[in-house]
């Protein structure tokens, strides 16, 4: 059940261990409203739930990679911030994601969870100010 007045986060990640750990970490400090999807297609089927932020892996199982999912999210609702979280450290991949409209790009490293929670906080603060 979704808690009112608490951020609603979609986490699109095909690695169940990473997804579980990040969901748990976010639920301890930011919100318990985290919905995990293992494919981009699952996320897109539920995007009508209007999450406050989407945390999106770049390399996903299924027919769509992260860029494909981002494009479809932006077609449906341009205002949903999408933050990439990926093991890919290539600058051109991050630049490509940002060019397609990603809010930010996080590399999966020892700081990834901290950065993700920080960005969720910044996005929510910005939404409250608008």
Question: Could you tell me where the beta strands, DSSP code E, fall in 20-127?
Answer: 34-37, 53-56, 82-86, 104-107
The pLDDT of residue 18 is: 97
3-state class (DSSP) for residue 82: strand
The pLDDT of residue 128 is: 79
Please give the model's pTM, rounded to 2 decimal places: 0.93
State the number of CA atoms in the 13 A half-sphere of 105 facing the CB.
21
The pLDDT of residue 129 is: 63
Domain spans of the chain?
A: 9-129
The pLDDT of residue 55 is: 98
- φ, ψ of residue 106 to 5 degrees: the values are -115, 130
d(CA 122, CA 124) in angstroms, rounded, equals: 5
The pLDDT of residue 105 is: 98
Q: Which superfamily, per CATH, for 9-129?
A: Response regulator (3.40.50.2300)
The pLDDT of residue 81 is: 97
The pLDDT of residue 1 is: 53
Each residue's pLDDT, cut to its tens digit, for the chain (130 residues) gives 556 678 999 999 999 999 999 999 999 999 999 999 999 999 999 999 999 999 999 999 889 999 999 999 999 988 999 999 999 999 999 999 999 999 999 999 999 999 999 999 999 998 876 5
The pLDDT of residue 5 is: 73
């Amino acid at each position: 059940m979704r808690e009112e007045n608490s951020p609603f986060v979609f986490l699109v990640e095909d690695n169940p261990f990473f997804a579980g750990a990040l969901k748990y970490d976010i639920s301890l400090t930011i919100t318990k409203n985290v919905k995990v999807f293992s494919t981009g297609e699952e996320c897109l089927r539920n995007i009508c739930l209007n999450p406050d932020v989407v945390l999106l892996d770049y390399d996903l199982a299924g027919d769509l990679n992260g860029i494909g999912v981002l494009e479809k999210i932006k077609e449906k609702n341009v205002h949903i911030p999408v933050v990439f979280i990926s093991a890919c450290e290539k600058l051109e991949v991050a630049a490509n994601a940002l060019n397609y409209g990603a809010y930010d790009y996080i590399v999966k490293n020892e700081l990834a969870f901290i950065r993700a929670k920080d960005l969720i906080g910044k996005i929510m603060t910005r939404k409250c100010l608008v």
